[in-house]
Amino acid sequence: MTDQSTPDSDAGQDAGFDPLADLLDTLDLEELGTARITVEGVGDRADFGESGATVFLGRSQKMPHGRVFGGQVLAQCVIAAGRTMADVDDGDGPRHIHSLHGYFMRPGDDTQPIRFAVERMRDGNSFSTRRVHAIQDGVPILSMITSFQEASGGLDHQDPMPVVPGPDELRSLADEFGGIDHPGARHLLKRPIEHRHVENHLFVAPSPELTAHQSVWMRALGRLPDDPLIHAAVLAYASDYTLLEPVIRRHGLTWTDRRLRPASLDHAMWFHRPVHADEWILYTQESPSASGGRGLGIGRMFAADGTMVATVAQEGMVRVKES
C-alpha cells in the first residue's frame, strides 16, 4: 500500500486542488456509533467476554493506481483511536499517542469508504491501549494497536541529529518536476507533504552510490490545526512515503522501474516527543536487511533544532519482476 510510482494516468484532480485541505478532510472522520463484538460457538463465552467498538467512517484520497495510500490509512487509524481518548482524563491531563503497530492485510480501494472499528482494550493509570481495524467490504485492510500516555517525567536521552545540508540548501520535488507536463509529475506535486532529498530522489535515475542510507527533509505544505492528534496523524501519514527507498537505493532501482513491485507489509512508529508536522523534520533512513522479497526500513525523525521526535520501522514487499 505505497504511493511511490509515477503513474501513467493522472489522478483526475482539477487545477484548484488543495493537497493539504484534501488531507485534512480525509482525516475528518465521521463517528457512526457503537458495534458489539462477541465470540460464539466455542463453549463458555465468559472466557472471551464481550466488547464494544466505536465505529468511524472516512473517505479515501484518489490515487492514480486505484489503491489506497498506506500512509492515509495509518493516519486515519491514529485519528480514530485518538477520538476515543477524549473522555479519558483522571485529572493528570490528556493522553497522547506514543506508539503504533500495524499490519497491512489487503490493498484498499480508493473509490470506497473505509470504516474504522476502535476497541478500547484498556485504560490504566497512565496508559491507554486501543485496537483499530480499517475495514472495506466487510474485511480488514489494516489492523493496528496503538498506545496513549499522559504526560510524564523520567529518564531522557536521544541520539544526535546527523549533520546534513538544511532544507533551504536543497531542491524540492516542486523544483524538480514543476515544469514537466506529465501525469506522474503532476501527481507528485499534489502530495500534501513537501519532500527535499539530501541525496538524489529516486523517481527518474537510480542512486549513483549503492548505499542503504538516505535523509529527507519533509513538512506539511501549510499550517495545521493546533491539535497534537492531527500532527501525530500527519507525521504517520508522511512516514510511509520514503521508508523503503533505502532498499531500492541499495540495489540501483528507481520507483519508475516497471519491474519493481513494492508494497508495505507492516508499520511501527514510536512518538518520543511533541512534534509539529508543519515544520521541517529530518527523516533519516536506513535498510539493514533485504531478503526473501522483503526489505526492512528503519527511520528516525528530528525537528530542525535537533530534537528527536519519532522512530519508525517498516517491512515491505520489494519484488523485482524479471520479465
Residues with catalytic roles = 240, 264, 314
Picking from 281, 271, 278, 206, the residue whose alpha carbon sits closest to that of residue 245 is 206
Asked whether 78 and 147 are in contact (CB, 8 A), the reply is: no
List Cβ neighbours of 140 (8 Å cut-off, separation of 6 or more): 105, 106, 133, 134
Query: Percentage helix, strand, coil, to 5, in the chain?
Result: 20, 35, 45
- What is the SS3 string spanning 101-135? EEEECCCCECCCCEEEEEEEEEECCCEEEEEEEEE
Q: Cα dist. 236→23, 36, 64, 85, 182 in Å?
A: 12, 29, 21, 18, 28
Residue identified by cell 516497471 is 258
What's the DSSP call for residue 138? T
Picking from 28, 193, 192, the residue whose alpha carbon sits closest to that of residue 113 is 28
What are 129's three cell numbers?
491501549
Rounded Cα distance, 212 and 244, in Å:
10
Rounded Cα distance, 144 and 63, in Å:
23
Asked whether 74 and 144 are in contact (CB, 8 A), the reply is: yes
Q: How many helices (H) and strands (E) does the chain have?
A: 6, 12
Residue identified by cell 480499517 is 134
